[in-house]
Amino acid sequence: MRTSSPPSHRIPTRPVTDRWSYKPIALLLLVPVIVAAAGLTAVVIAPPFVGMSMGVKELDKKLQAAGANFTRIPPIPQRSTIYANDGKTVLARVYLANREILPLGEISPVARQAVLAIEDSGFYEHGALNPSSMLRALAANIRAGEVVQGGSTITQELVKLTLGDPTNRSFGRKFQEVALAMRVEQRYTKNKILEMYLNQVYLGNNVYGIATAAQFYFHVPASKLTLPQAALLAGMIRAPNTYDPLRYPRAAWLRRNDVLNRMIGLGPTNGGVTAERGARAKMQPLGLPKNVGQIHLPTPPFIVDYVKQQIHDDPNGWYSFLGATAKQRDKALAEGGLSIVTTLDPNWQRAAQDAANQPWAATPSHPDHRPTADVGLVSLDATTGAIRTMLSGKHYQKDQVDTVTTVHQPGSSFKPYVLTAAFEQGILPTAIYSGVQGVIPDPRCMTNGQPWDVTNAEGTSLGSMNLYDATAYSVNAVFARLILDVGPENVVAVAHAMGITTRLPAVCALATGSVGISPLDQASGYQTLADGGVHCKPFAVAEVLRGDQILYRQRPDCQQVVPAPIANLVNDLLKGPVTYGTAASVFSSGWGKWPIRGKTGTAQDNTEVWFAGYTPQVVTAVWVGSQGRPYPLADYWGYDVFGATVAAPIWKAFMLSVLQGYPVERFPAAGLTTVPNVIGKPLAEARKVIRGAHLQPAAQVVPSYLPAGTVVTQDPSAGTQAIPTQVVTLSVSNGVAPIVTLPDVVGSTLSAANGALGAIHVFVTVVDQPVKHSDKSGIVLSMSPVGGTKVKEGSSVTLVVGVGPKPSPSPSPSPSPSPGPGNGKGHGGGGGGGNTALAFVSRAVP
């Protein structure tokens, strides 16, 4: 028996033509091998071979030594299958060898009979070798002077296919293959050997194994193969290229009938068939379907290429179970027989394609035959990061252009990252900024020595406005000034934390979206907002199985990267664009009941437009632009195109389709909080009060005369409006009064003197002294100790202040600036906000 192999260099199997390189005399050396394998241990080689052979016992020892290192047949390479999230819809098959492995029981009995009949009819009777077959083949080969007939068993052929070296045709290699065949028979049952062989054999057209061949040539499972079909496949094993029914149907038909004749000859009692049944089968045509060889799969969607690349690169370390290196992981994918269940929802994918193909989204051809305008759409589960949709262009099956992981200028759709960074620094949404366009003279924004010239989308200057309106109407001039207060480097840090993986330069132009990001990253960043500041890394593989064994199951990789109140506040601002701002015309009618947040974006010169938005459950980013080099979209449509012109309607059509069945879920309420007054309180109590106002206390120790652990100052000051989770810095006394120098306040007004002395935390006692002249009234006439004296903080200073001819009849306290309750010793407990120091003032009668 001779088994042919594919022309591919990647699978180490025998070629179609197998002519040994040694002389006919070398063939005689196989005789003792055959004798030993047959168990004729008492026989010594006859005189024709004396002097060029060895005793059978000696030979038996050598055979045992040659196979000593054998442990098992290596795993047979098997194709992997990539599925949609239902685990049933096949998206693609990945393989070097297109092979599906089946247990022997799932291969039809007639297929097993046909293969055994033509290849090794005595398989279940003989051992690893069939001496009679080998001797017949040897005689024929000696007569021909070369190998013209094989006498191998199925076990020997399995060894050649799995353990052999097709480039080594030496006698030593043949000797070792015989030894290995003997070890295989010791290690495995006959059924297992036959199963491995039927799954291993090459059957032409990059098809391996009887199961894959049944699907490829007849579109039936291996368990349903008929007698003529089984005979055709069995006949191809010897020379699959010669008997290829697609190219040589006549040769394949004749070979099939040879197999049937052999089965008739064996008869039904010896693994064959009756003459009547065989004759009927011989009369039948090949019976190949019209679409023979066609795999019933659509062209794989983009997510298949994305999954393969993710497994290769493994940027998050999720796929290390497939191998430590990219080469190992690629091999596992191509040969490991994996079932990879993705997160892609096929219904959502169709909805995305339908939305992109709407008549109003049609992209006219460019008059100069430039690349066509196209679409990129990515949709994520807002609470896990699972990728539900990846539409990479309208015709990915045709042009294979990646529009979802390549970078494009996001325009104003980048502004939510600037807002997030601003709110993290305590800038309020009610802050007022100028909307006047023009040159921004800040040196941080210089490019090639030129200042940054900012224009609004409408090309006109606008007045001052808060961040609510600036976001709704996408006013570039406001955000250009905002990023100066925030700092570009802080915007970069926030964007990366929220999911932008592209390396971003810390430049002012981030505020207007002039630095490229991908639709996938944009969806990932907006997912952080949709889930209240929790970022979940996007993932496309739900689980990986081999057979029934689950090798890997993805768990959402999520962490809080933006405080929830800040995310809620950004969400509150992103309500503006869809209700009264740039995209309001799209959603004012026909939208539905789901609350949404979103932002339009238009790149410089209107070359690319965006709409990214979300509900609490689903996040979607849509990009529209020209493939390759960006061209103004007005060249395609004949008028200026913005985010609300095309991208937002595509987003709307897609989301209306996929949100059906989702419950209406509201976004959490957003708001500001009032900073409470905690000056003078013990630190533990102050922290409790601050946290009760949904703020975060941060303490720093300062020298102070107050008891250790007492709050001396706070920032922001009491009564200030703040964003929840904002930090309130508390200066806490260490109980050690610092030395301060008294300012000279003689000649100052009492108010000015109180301010200067209160700033260094000293107690002030005022003594009134009548004066004759009104210009001395309210003026400090003297002080004790005098100005320039060094005293401890908390010391007392007496001020003599002039008053008119009618002094007050009784002492009355005068706070500076805000006294607290007195302590009975002329010292009032001061209070106040911000960094205002404690000031203690009392009045005494001289």
Burial 429-464 (b: 16+ CB within 10 A, else e): beeebbbbbeebeeeebeeeeeebebebbeeeebee
- Count of Cβ atoms closer than 10 Å to residue 287 Cβ: 13
Closest to 380 in 3D by CA, of 494, 610, 535, 495: 535
For residue 581, CA distances in Å to 299, 476, 586, 588, 780 come to 40, 14, 10, 11, 60
Tell me how crowded residue 167 is: count the other CB atoms within 10 A of its CB. 8
d(C-alpha 444, C-alpha 510), whole Å: 12
Q: What is the pLDDT of residue 298?
A: 58
Contacts of 144 (CB under 8 A, 6+ apart): none
- The half-sphere exposure of 465 on its side-chain side, counting CA atoms within 13 A, is 18
* Residue from 81, 556, 540, 558 nearest 311 by CA: 540
**625 near 356, Cβ under 8 Å?**
no
| Phi, psi torsion values for 819, nearest 5 degrees | -75, 150
What's domain 24-283's superfamily in CATH? Biosynthetic peptidoglycan transglycosylase-like (1.10.3810.10)
Length of the chain in terms of residues written: 846
Quickly list DSSP for 471-497. Answer: HHTT-HHHHHHHHHHH-HHHHHHHHHH
**In CATH, what is the architecture of 411-515?**
3-Layer(aba) Sandwich (3.40)
Which positions ≥6 away from 811 have C-beta within 8 Å? 842, 843, 844, 845
Quickly count: other Cβ atoms within 10 Å of residue 264's Cβ: 21
The reported pLDDT for the residue numbered 144 is 66
- Rounded CA gap, 538 and 379, in Å? 10
Do 343-410+517-540+558-669 and 411-515 agree at the fold level? Answer: yes
Q: Whose CA is closest to 672, among 427, 416, 417? A: 427
Residue 522 to residues 417, 584, 627: CA-CA distances in angstroms? Answer: 10, 21, 19
Low-confidence ranges of the chain (pLDDT < 70): 1-68, 140-141, 144-150, 166-171, 294-299, 359-372, 628-629, 634-639, 805-846
Angstrom distance (rounded) from CA 505 to CA 498: 16
Helix-, strand-, coil-residue percentages of the chain, each rounded to 5: 35, 20, 45
Q: Are 501 and 466 in contact (CB under 8 A)?
A: no
Look at residue 801 in the predicted model and tell me its pLDDT: 95
DSSP string, 724-753: TT-EEEEEEE-S-PPEEE----TTSBHHHH
Contact 678, 644 (CB under 8 A): no
DSSP 41: T
Q: With both helix axes pointing from N to C terminus, report the angle between 488-498 and 476-486 in degrees, rounded to the nearest 10.
A: 100
Cβ neighbourhood burial of 13 (10 Å; 0-12, 13-18, 19+): buried
Domain 739-844 belongs to what topology?
Trypsin Inhibitor V; Chain A (3.30.10)
Of 289, 158, 154, 155, the residue nearest 214 (C-alpha): 289
In whole angstroms, give the CA distance from residue 464 to residue 455: 15
Fold exhibited by the domain 673-733:
Trypsin Inhibitor V; Chain A (3.30.10)
Q: Pairing mode, if any, of strands 597-602 and 558-560? A: unpaired
Return the CATH superfamily for domain 343-410+517-540+558-669: DD-peptidase/beta-lactamase superfamily (3.40.710.10)
Q: Cβ distance 519 to 622 under 8 Å?
A: yes
For 609, the enclosing helix (H) or strand (E) is: strand 608-614
Which pairing describes strands 796-803 and 780-784: parallel, antiparallel, or unpaired? antiparallel
**Ranges of each domain in the chain:** 24-283, 343-410+517-540+558-669, 411-515, 673-733, 739-844
**606 and 642 Cβ atoms separated by less than 8 Å:** yes
Q: Which single residue is written with the structure tokens 């309607």?
A: 649
